Amino acid sequence: MPIYEYRCRDCGRKTSFLVLNPNKPFSPKCPKCGSTDMHRLFSRFSSPLSEDRRLEKLADPSFWGDVDESDPASVARFVKRMGKELGEELGEDFEEIAEEAEGGGDEVL
């Protein structure tokens, strides 16, 4: 069962879809704006790391190097990167808050 990534051409949101039967036609719909004008993206390949290796990677000081705790955008980028390293989905609410912080929004995380 492949997972395909699409970007909405109307709102720009990137979304992943689990396709149960790749032989059947699939028409993705944006969960944010409801648009069906979606563009399929090429996904990155991943090679699974053991949990020990992921934790070692997080303990490396270079992983923390660009974090500035007084800059919400820096913290948001770090948390997103950490979530990806741990294989955790942070949820749509967090993604929206992080994008706003990265864009220089006035709201506090």
Residue 65 is classified by DSSP as T
Dist. CA 55–CA 49, nearest whole Å? 10
Look up the pTM and report it. 0.41
Place of tokens 């020990």: 52
pLDDT per position in the chain (109 positions), as tens? 578 889 999 999 989 888 888 788 889 999 999 999 999 988 666 566 677 777 777 777 776 667 777 777 777 777 777 777 666 666 677 777 777 776 654 544 4
The secondary element (H helix, E strand) that includes residue 62 is: helix 61-64
25 CB-near residues (< 8 Å, 6+ apart): none
The domain segmentation of the chain, as residue ranges, is 3-41, 51-102
Dist. CA 28–CA 12, nearest whole Å? 14
Residue 16 phi/psi, 5-degree rounding, is -105, 140
